[in-house]
Structure 1
Amino acid sequence: MGTLNSIQYIADNIELIASNKTWIEGKAIEQLTFSAKLPDMLKVAGMPDLHPGKSYPIGAAFLSKNTLYPYLVGSDIGCGMGLWQTDKPINKLKISRWIDKLAVLDEPLNRDWQDEIEQTKQQFGVINSDFDRALGSIGGGNHFAELQVVETIFDQTLADAIHLSKKHVQLLVHSGSRGYGHEILNQHIAQFNSAGIAVDSDAGIEYLQKHNDAVQWACANRTLIAKQIMATLNIDADPLLDVTHNLVSNQQGMGWLHRKGATPSDQGIVAIPGSRGALTYLVKPVKSATGLFSLAHGAGRKWQRSEAKARLSNKYRVQDLQKTSLGSHVVCKNKALLYEEAPQAYKSIDQVIQDLKNAGLIELIASLKPILTYKTAKSGGC
């Protein structure tokens, strides 16, 4: 295994963007290696947040020639990050009041939102109407809505280019296509299991049509989550970015690029968050074929969900995990989810960012500190 800065070459068609300081679970490397042997697969790349999935790794990109692999994209098609800058000055924060008010996010949007739902769907060109009731919902797992403040500006010129203000509260939303994406993948599995399908086949054409709609649905969903937060807290906000990290796209002249928990580096400025007790980094990608035009999408899990709960439940009370070492608040009344998503279960976002920087793939713009993370106010499932 050769190493150059933070770039490791496991094989001719297997690249890993990670330094020797970054712990990558052996199972994740095995899954990455296995994916490189799939029919028609040209190259695979693991990010520094690489960790094992059910059969294939998360935090990776996969380039195939003429074959689509829906199983590589997964069920949460279109999952990604949206960032908005609010008009709320940081010296007028009302965290204690906001915590109770945001419980509205657990409920479906009511009839008063119908016009807004239709307008947002039209804005993003969403066709499907079967999952309208789920629009505006965060979902479970590692999804969240988070209010943040700018901690450090590393490059004032780049910050000014996106009008980033240190005086105002930021809003980061992480969510995807909810049940819509699950249905699309389940339909594929029922017919083909985890096998790939030819791009120009009837199945391939149908999958791409549904996939593309689900990607837009997810963008609309993040926007509606942000709009409901604005309405609930009586604030306004301007969108700074929205980027998708679960999708497949035609990489012109190269093939079909599947991303599973990998942020595109060829679509402008992106946000890469850590755990709920860590900073989020705003970065400008340096366009490069290294890493298959992709970056990490977060810190990446250090422990499996079941392992996290077993490790932490005897050390921390629920209330201990509702306040982070950064002083931020976490709203999550689902006890199991609170332990599964604890900061301790994730890798160091600082090391992930350093690996990307050492590989020459990013320029740092700013870091954002969480002040309130919202997951769910319900004690049951999400």
Structure 2
Amino acid sequence: MGNFPDADAQARVRLFASASSWIEGAARLQLQQLAGRPGMLAVAGMPDLHPGHHGPVGCAALARGVVFPEIIGTDIGCGMQFWPLDLPERRLKRDKAVERLAALEGVWEGDARALLAEHGVDAGAHADQIGTVGGGNHFCEVQAVETLVDAAAGMAAGLAPGGLALLVHSGSRGFGAEVRARHHVDGTAGLALEGAGADYLADHDAALRYARLNRRVIAWRALQAVRADGEERIDSPHNLAERQGDLVLHRKGAAPSDRGLVPVPGSRGTLTYLVEPLAPPDGALSSLAHGAGRKHDRASMSGRMRAAAGSLDRLIRTPLGGHVICTDRQLLMEEAPDAYKDIDKVVADLEAKGLARVVAVLRPVLTFKTARIRREQDRRGR
């Protein structure tokens, strides 16, 4: 991806971000290079756009007759799942919930293979990972309803003033990585849709189902931990390929805007916005931002956090009064709120560009990341 894009490729790009948004030059270049791939018809960048390993994160790309597995990446089906709870914030026993949420690190005690088989998924050895959050930016978060901007729409979604909700961010774990490895492609040519591309999409769709089930089981486990009942209202994947006849719509870190309400989280120290998609403007490819997007890469965050006075003390306590459940100091620094863009500006861009309107605002209360400390060799291999 080192070539500079030609004028035709640049004409296929739409960037839905204001001039004041933090969009790195490398991300803009990756977006334009993506538009230059064979069969590519249009590319849309969202206001959370940032550079990725095999192309930009925070984008959608429409191609004819070809699918690009490396655009989607290894975490096929990664996304957000949203569950309003029947428990008000005032009745949440935080200390007990913190202790019990740590159990999410362990293996789910249910029958994972039977659950997957019920949904037509054979994940092999990866079945045992169902119900686990994983690493990186994944999380399971108890959130409090801060504001109902549209009371009617918020209450229709199961929210109430003073209430709680659960937001789960995870994907297909090792199963998605296996699918990606099975359909590895060198270079940027992709897979022909009729043939190898169709084979990839069949396995990809199984990983999508796995990812949704994984989020659902995580939510079940979290409900037990906080002693609440809830209902799955939203499941919004943001790493996926969607076939539309001879076209394939790729989304990498971009939420679909044609499936109802979308949660757009910031970081563990900032607010989450629940938004209603609007009729998409030309070139938006029925997509929205999936979150704040990274501002600083993981490799640089350790130095940034160590250089900030008192920074480590605030890693597990957020400015909004939330508590982070994470025993991995390195991961705490890599995923610190400072690593992410300003979610308020990202959402303001969504509104200004006519992509979405805010329905509700939620505040992080308890954020589970991991109770496992990574080994040094794991860190070097990331």
Structure 2 length as normaliser, TM-score?
0.92
Could you list the per-position Cα deviations for residues 281-321 of structure 1 after superposition, in whole angstroms to 9, with x for gaps in the alignment? Answer: 11110131432110000000000111111111232443321
* Alpha-carbon contact 2:42-2:283 (below 8 Å) kept: no
The letter of the residue matching 1:185 is R
Gaps of 5+ in 1: 1-8
Instruction: Write out aligned runs for 1:70-219 (5 A).
Output: 70-110=69-109, 113-114=110-111, 117=112, 120-121=115-116, 124-189=119-184, 192=186, 194-201=188-195, 203-219=196-212
Structure 1: distance between partners of 2:228 and 2:31: 44
In structure 2, the partner of 1:343 is 337
What residue in structure 2 maps to residue 54 of structure 1?
53
Give the partner amino acid of 1:143.
H
Q: What is residue 314 of structure 1 aligned with on the other side?
A: 307
Q: How far apart, CA to CA, are the structure 1 residues paired with 2:303 and 2:65?
A: 43
Partner of 2:261: 269
Query: Are the structure 2 counterparts of residues 161 and 124 from structure 1 closer, same or farther at C-alpha, using a change threshold of 3 Å?
Result: farther
Partner deviation per Cα, 1:211-231 (whole Å, 9 max, x = no partner): 000001000000000011112
User: Structure 1 vs Structure 2: percent identity of aligned residues?
Assistant: 43
- In the alignment, the residues of structure 1 paired with residue 150 and residue 227 of structure 2 have an alpha-carbon distance, to the nearest angstrom, of 31
User: What is the root-mean-square deviation in Å for CA atoms of aligned residues?
Assistant: 1.8
Indicate conservation of the 8 Å contact 2:253/2:289, yes or no: yes
Q: Is 281-290 or 123-132 further displaced after alignment? A: 123-132
SS of alignment partner, residue 130 of structure 1: helix
Larger mean Cα displacement after TM superposition, 324-333 or 216-225: 324-333
Question: Partner of 2:228 in structure 1?
Answer: 235
In structure 2, the partner of 1:279 is: 271
Cα deviation, residue 84, structure 1: 0.5
Q: Is the 8 A contact 1:120 1:224 kept in 2?
A: no
- Which residue of structure 2 aligns with residue 372 of structure 1? 366
Alpha-carbon distance in 1 for matches of 2:245, 2:358: 28
- Matched with 1:300 is 293
SS at match of 1:238: coil
Q: Secondary structure at the match of 1:323?
A: coil
What is the rounded CA distance, in whole Å, between the counterparts of 1:60 and 1:221 in structure 2?
A: 24
Q: Which amino acid aligns with 1:105?
A: L
- Give the Cα–Cα distance (whole angstroms) in 2 for the partners of residues 126 and 376 of structure 1: 26
Gap change, CA 1:120 and 1:233, over 3 Å in 2: farther
1:135: Cα distance to partner? 0.2
Alpha-carbon distance change, 44 to 310 in structure 1, aligned in 2, over 3 angstroms: same
Count of residue correspondences: 367
CA contact (8 A) 2:316 2:324 kept: yes
Q: Per-residue deviation at 1:167?
A: 3.4
One-letter identity of the residue aligned with 2:125: D
| In 1: Cα distance, 2:164 partner to 2:283 partner | 34
Contact 1:181/1:214, CA 8 A, preserved across alignment: yes
Determine the C-alpha separation between the residues in 1 that align with 2:358 and 2:115.
32
